[in-house]
Amino acid sequence: MSSPLSTWELLHWVATKPTRSTREDLDALLARADFTQVAREVLASGTTSEKTTALRVLRELASPEAHALARLALRDAAADVRAPAARALASAQDAADWRSLLEALDDTEPSVQHAAMDSLARMNPAAASDLFLERFERAPEAEKLNALATAQRLGLPESGALARLGLASASSTVRAAAVDLVAREGEATEGLLIHLLTDASENVQLHALRTLTYRAHVPASVFVPLLAASSSPPVRAQALQALILRRDASTCEPVCRLLTDPDASLRRRAILATERLGCTRATPTLLEMLARTRDEDERADLVAALGGLGGPEAWEALRQALSDESPASGAPPSSPGPRTSRRPTQPPCCWSACEAPPTRKHGRPLPWPS
């Protein structure tokens, strides 16, 4: 019978196994009386994978000695070791641990800085929040993004003030991250989010737009101006999605203007939107499009929309379209079989957050635009 593995051997086995270490693996190491001593040796001379495994266990151990070892590991040459070392101090309360994490905020690796911020925020949310505010304006972009992400994830006390500093940044990436933090504050910030729909950055507009889209009490009139050709295609598509969710028939006129848009993807979304909004006045336009289009996918969308809208003209056109054996393009008839619908290749700004594909009144799914 082979002798049991030593603590070092067990740690090496866990660190080098092809699959991620399990809860049982960590518990086995925690149960070893000499683990702390072995961890000290590993952190001094082990491989990166051995060091990170030791730090995962030290984080669970959460003893003063474990925290002291984590502080030492914050000086390691490898960022892959320094980051878990910072995370291992999340449960610490000692002033030395706080000082070590403060030093780690100036680490050149964003992953280490992110871990240090997370641990500081868990140690003392109020003090960490004040610290992030104090450093924000002079911080590099990576630190600003980490501060905003940490404040959002942990709900820090001064999140609102931090978000407003972020919105004043010259970086659109920072402003977009700040929008997500502002969104946490609920209805009180909706006026600010609506104002951000006019930001010069498409990314910022989209972040604000996605938040407002799913706030049902925000009126449709907020989104209509974003359908204009001056908006980017992703912004127009997301604004259209916001109108679809509100099912406000008063928006049919601006939506129907998109039926002649040169952007084929947006045009197809507008076709389906006419049915969702009940835009019966769009029927003549849809019939004209059905008569002249040669795109099979667009024809399928038109058939679906006309079927949902109904009416004598629509039914007659549908009967004619379904009885026509040759496609509008003049190509040979396609073989029978179900049409495979494809999800859009546009960015997921419009459809990705939908709870389900749109359905007709009788429960049959409408095809998604390609």
pLDDT band at 186 (very low <50, low <70, confident <90, very high): confident
Percent share of the chain, pLDDT over 70: 86
Residue 302 CA: distances (Å) to CA of 133, 213, 221, 287, 369: 53, 25, 26, 8, 11
Position 87 in a domain = no
Q: What pLDDT sits at residue 350?
A: 32
Q: What pLDDT sits at residue 348?
A: 32
Kindly report which listed range (27-31, 184-188, 206-210, 339-343) carries the lowest average pLDDT score: 339-343
Q: How do residues 235-280 score in pLDDT, each as one tens digit?
A: 999 999 999 999 999 999 999 999 999 999 999 999 999 999 999 9
Q: How do residues 206-228 score in pLDDT, each as one tens digit?
A: 999 999 999 989 999 999 999 99
Q: What is the mean pLDDT of residues 169-192?
A: 93
- The set of long-range contacts for 97-106, using a CB threshold of 8 Å and a minimum separation of 24, is 97/67, 97/70, 97/71, 97/123, 98/123, 98/124, 100/71, 100/74, 102/131, 103/74, 104/74, 105/135, 105/143
Kindly report which listed range (38-52, 155-169, 216-230, 350-364) carries the lowest average pLDDT score: 350-364
Domain total in the chain:
1
Whether the per-residue pLDDT at 17 is higher than 70: the answer is yes
Position 134 in a domain = no
Q: Closest Cα partner for 126 from 99, 93, 159?
A: 159
Position 350 in a domain = yes
Average confidence score pLDDT of the chain:
87
Position 123 in a domain = no
Q: How do residues 295-330 score in pLDDT, each as one tens digit?
A: 999 999 999 999 899 887 778 777 776 676 444 444
Q: How do residues 326-364 score in pLDDT, each as one tens digit?
A: 444 444 443 333 333 433 333 333 333 233 334 444 444
pTM: 0.76
d(CA 88, CA 84): 6
d(CA 274, CA 338): 24
d(CA 292, CA 309): 20
Radius of gyration of the chain (CA): 29
Please give the DSSP secondary-structure letter assigned to residue 220. Answer: G
With vertex at residue 343, the alpha carbon angle to CA 340 and CA 347, rounded to the nearest 5 degrees, is 160
Give the range of the structural domain holding residue 288, as residue numbers without chain letter.
Answer: 223-325+341-370
End-to-end CA distance of the chain: 63
Kindly report which listed range (92-96, 176-180, 317-321, 346-350) carries the lowest average pLDDT score: 346-350
Q: What is the CATH number of the domain that holds 282?
A: 1.25.10.10
Q: What pLDDT sits at residue 319?
A: 78
d(CA 97, CA 74): 11
Q: What is the mean pLDDT of residues 60-73?
A: 95
Position 242 in a domain = yes
CB 208 within 8 A of CB 238: no
Half-sphere exposure of 87 (CA within 13 A, CB side): 19
DSSP 342-362: ---SS-TTTTTT-SS--B-TT
CB 250 within 8 A of CB 220: yes
Position 214 in a domain = no
d(CA 122, CA 82): 18
Q: What pLDDT sits at residue 337?
A: 36
